[in-house]
């Protein structure tokens, strides 16, 4: 593609004043100024749907989510929220991040009608056939995209229904099954063919390659990873994911009173909380690293105190010990300490002479799953989601499914049928006020601890008004304020109302890179080298205070969004 040229001076944040931008600085602006969207593996237009929620338009918010991340109701309950640590509102001195995930859930909770929402097809029928092995989050996301792009899609699912770990692994107290089935149905209703109870092997996949133009493996990772210590063969030692699958299939095993859970991720947390629901009186989750290194979000950890789960950190299992009758009696642990590592994540190292025992009737291992390799010698096979990347989150699987869908489409059609554009529209107002910046982050309401059974959803959702309030906390970073220095009279009134140090600065010059992107400035040191006022987009919190005090209306406002469009 020919390099896009600047249509306005390099001193402006974007290459264009309005319309469609394709310059490097336009995409760079989106990446820096909308960090929540950049952090989302599915590229969700987060400010777009938060704005719709604040405006009382849950249907619009749901459709924005549906377009980008496939499963809004599911993710509103289970997303690992990589967007929230990136949120501008959580920066030092600005408060707490917006509760983006809670707001996402409300986009589904308050829709008037819950019938399937079917997106319009983007391309006409291509005549190409795609087979997908696995009907989990990644496979369904890939299937939805390929179907919208005109391909004939068939999913082969090992189990009796599609949904993957959304059905089999995640506890129902976290994710009601009717939500999953409704959003899976939205994918299938587009014309995706589903064959259940089909277990695949290399020979069957090779045969499929003769009948389909593309075959994608999206079967996840289900092979348990066991710790390297004696006693894992004891009957009372179970792998956590298999344990959760059994519970979700309707089993209710007797665990005894003392349950030890090994691990620090979602599987370990879910096993510990489930063990309490099944009647275990003493449940301890043991992790070889510290709480800060846990894979779960800290918003999950408060459930332990509510539900009576205790946790021990910096200890690792050495052996699972049996009594004279051959039944589990205890776990032998050793204390650990964290040492720096080259890859940045600290390594737990055993402390000699610190071993001790913890009595246990049952052990549940949240120690992860391995990626199978039986398919690696199959030529021409596309691989998506956890099968390619190893165990990850739902949003990671969805994002990778979308990515592989683009690769499949390119291979089938022989060309890239999409382009990325940055759309710039003039705007009159964001609809925000500075008071919104001071609102505290709302917490998710929950049912009482005494009411929490195996299938009772714990989180009850924000009220409509609370959802609007929380969404109003979003800075709406997809809006851009900018100073026109040709109109500015340098009265400095805007400087007097800046809520953040450095959001508007006096500069002697701007610094550009080879792609004409503004990547810094030289601050003026006196009136002699004060050449312009610069609004630092990365520091701006979109409060609009500068616009309100400007006597000559030299500060403009545009709405900026990034779109993937068919060429």
Query: Has residue 299 got a pLDDT over 80?
Result: no
State pLDDT tens for residues 191-235. Answer: 999 999 999 999 999 999 999 999 999 998 878 889 999 999 999
- State the average pLDDT over residues 554-565: 96
State pLDDT tens for residues 509-541. Answer: 999 999 999 989 999 999 899 999 999 999 999
- For 288, 321, 471, the CA distances from 48, given in Å and listed in that order, are 40, 55, 10
pLDDT of residue 271: 97
Burial class of 117 by CB neighbour count within 10 A (0 to 12, 13 to 18, 19+) = middle
3-state secondary structure 114-130: CCCCCCCCCCCCCCCEE
Where are the chain's structural domains? 34-117+430-472, 129-221+371-416, 226-367
List CB contacts of 544: < 8 A, sequence separation 6 or more.
429, 430, 432, 433, 434, 481, 557
Query: Has residue 399 got a pLDDT over 80?
Result: yes
| Least confidently predicted of 154-158, 359-363, 391-395 | 391-395
Q: What percent of the chain has pLDDT over 90?
A: 87
Helix axes 100-109 and 46-54, enclosed angle (nearest 10): 60
Which helix or strand (DSSP H or E) is residue 322 part of? strand 315-322
pLDDT of residue 377: 83
pLDDT of residue 1: 38
Exposure string for 504-515, b = 16+ CB within 10 A, e = fewer: bbbbbeeeeeee
Other C-beta atoms lying within 10 Å of the C-beta of residue 93: 7
List CB contacts of 113: < 8 A, sequence separation 6 or more.
none
Q: Which of 424, 426, 413 is nearest to 566 (CA)?
A: 413
pLDDT of residue 394: 96
Mean per-residue pLDDT of the chain: 94
Measured CA to CA, the distance from residue 95 to residue 93 in angstroms comes to: 6
SS3 299: helix
**What are the structure tokens assigned to 206, written together?**
């090779």
- For 23, 32, 53, 173, 235, the CA distances from 1, given in Å and listed in that order, are 11, 23, 37, 50, 61
Pairing of strands 555-566, 479-483: antiparallel
pLDDT of residue 373: 80
List CB contacts of 308: < 8 A, sequence separation 6 or more.
276, 283, 449
User: Which CATH architecture group holds 129-221+371-416?
Assistant: 3-Layer(bba) Sandwich (3.50)
**What are the structure tokens assigned to 462, written together?**
């924000």
- State the average pLDDT over residues 469-494: 95
List CB contacts of 255: < 8 A, sequence separation 6 or more.
275, 278, 279, 280, 361, 362
Measured CA to CA, the distance from residue 132 to residue 218 in angstroms comes to: 7
Pick the CATH number of 226-367 from 3.40.605.10, 3.40.50.1950, 3.60.20.10, 3.50.50.60: 3.50.50.60
SS3 275: helix
DSSP-assigned beta bridge partners for residue 382 = 216
CB 258 within 8 A of CB 359: yes
pTM of the model: 0.94
pLDDT of residue 544: 92
Burial class of 447 by CB neighbour count within 10 A (0 to 12, 13 to 18, 19+) = middle
State pLDDT tens for residues 86-96. Answer: 999 999 999 99
Confidence tier at 301 by pLDDT (50, 70, 90): confident
pLDDT of residue 3: 55
Longest dimension (CA), the chain: 89
Pairing of strands 152-156, 129-133: parallel
Other C-beta atoms lying within 10 Å of the C-beta of residue 153: 30
Confidence tier at 326 by pLDDT (50, 70, 90): very high
Q: Which of 511, 503, 501, 506 is nearest to 547 (CA)?
A: 503
- State the average pLDDT over residues 425-443: 91
Query: Has residue 343 got a pLDDT over 90?
Result: no
SS3 349: strand
- State the average pLDDT over residues 368-385: 87
pLDDT of residue 2: 42
Query: Has residue 174 got a pLDDT over 90?
Result: yes
233 phi, psi to nearest 5 deg: -85, 0
CATH 1.10.1060 fits 34-117+430-472, yes or no: yes
- For 184, 288, 364, 492, the CA distances from 221, given in Å and listed in that order, are 20, 23, 18, 59
State pLDDT tens for residues 19-71. Answer: 999 999 999 999 999 999 999 999 999 999 999 999 999 999 999 999 999 99
DSSP character string of 191-243: T-EEE-S----HHHHHHHHHH-SEEEE-----EE---SSTTTTSTTEEEHHHH
Is-same-fold flag (34-117+430-472; 226-367)?
no
């Amino acid at each position: 593609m020919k390099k896009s040229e600047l249509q306005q001076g390099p001193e402006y944040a974007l290459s264009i004043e309005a319309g469609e931008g394709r310059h490097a600085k336009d995409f760079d602006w989106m990446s820096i100024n909308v960090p929540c969207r950049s952090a989302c593996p599915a590229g969700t237009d987060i400010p777009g749907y938060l704005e719709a929620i604040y405006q009382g338009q849950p249907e619009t918010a749901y459709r924005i989510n549906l377009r980008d991340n496939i499963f809004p109701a599911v993710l509103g309950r289970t997303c690992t929220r990589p967007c929230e640590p990136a949120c501008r509102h959580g920066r030092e001195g600005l408060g707490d991040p917006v509760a983006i995930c809670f707001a996402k859930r409300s986009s589904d909770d308050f829709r008037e009608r819950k019938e399937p929402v079917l997106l319009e097809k983007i391309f006409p029928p291509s005549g190409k056939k795609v087979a997908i092995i696995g009907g989990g989050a990644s496979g369904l996301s890939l299937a939805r995209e390929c179907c919208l792009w005109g391909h004939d899609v068939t999913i082969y699912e090992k189990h009796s229904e599609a949904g993957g770990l959304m059905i089999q692994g995640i506890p129902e107290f976290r994710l009601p099954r009717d939500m999953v089935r409704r959003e899976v149905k939205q994918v299938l209703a587009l014309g995706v063919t589903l064959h259940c109870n089909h277990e695949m092997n290399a020979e069957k996949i090779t045969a499929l390659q003769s009948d389909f133009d593309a075959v994608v493996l999206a079967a996840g990772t289900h092979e348990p990873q066991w710790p390297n210590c004696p006693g894992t063969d004891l009957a009372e030692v179970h792998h956590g994911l298999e344990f959760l699958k059994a519970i979700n299939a309707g089993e209710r095993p007797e665990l005894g009173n003392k349950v030890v859970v090994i691990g620090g991720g979602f599987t370990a947390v879910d096993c510990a909380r489930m063990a309490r629901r099944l009647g275990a009186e003493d449940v301890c989750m043991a992790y070889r690293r510290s709480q800060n290194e846990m894979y779960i979000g800290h918003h999950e950890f408060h459930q332990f105190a509510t539900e009576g789960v205790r946790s021990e950190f910096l200890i690792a299992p050495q052996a699972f010990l049996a009594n004279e009758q051959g039944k589990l009696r205890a776990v032998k642990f050793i204390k650990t300490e964290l040492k720096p590592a080259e890859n940045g994540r600290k390594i737990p190292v055993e402390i000699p002479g610190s071993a001790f025992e913890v009595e246990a009737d049952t052990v549940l291992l949240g120690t992860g799953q391995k990626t199978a390799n039986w398919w690696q010698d199959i030529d021409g096979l596309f691989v998506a989601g956890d099968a390619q990347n190893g165990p990850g989150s739902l949003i990671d699987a969805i994002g990778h499914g979308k990515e592989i869908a683009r690769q499949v489409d390119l291979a089938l059609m022989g060309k890239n049928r999409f382009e990325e554009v940055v759309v710039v529209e003039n705007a009159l107002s964001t609809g925000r006020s500075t008071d919104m910046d001071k609102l505290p982050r709302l917490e998710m309401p929950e049912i009482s601890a005494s009411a929490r059974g195996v299938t009772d959803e714990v989180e009850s959702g924000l009220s409509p008004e609370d959802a609007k309030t929380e969404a109003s906390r979003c800075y709406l970073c997809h809006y851009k304020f900018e100073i026109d220095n040709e109109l500015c009279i340098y009265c400095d009134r805007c400087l007097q109302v800046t809520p953040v140090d450095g959001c508007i600065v006096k500069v002697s010059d701007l610094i550009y890179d080879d792609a004409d992107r503004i990547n810094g400035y030289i601050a003026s040191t006196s009136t002699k080298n004060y050449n312009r006022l610069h609004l630092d987009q990365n520091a701006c919190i979109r409060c609009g205070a500068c616009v309100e005090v400007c006597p000559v209306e030299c500060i403009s406002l545009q709405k900026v969004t990034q779109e993937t469009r068919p060429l």
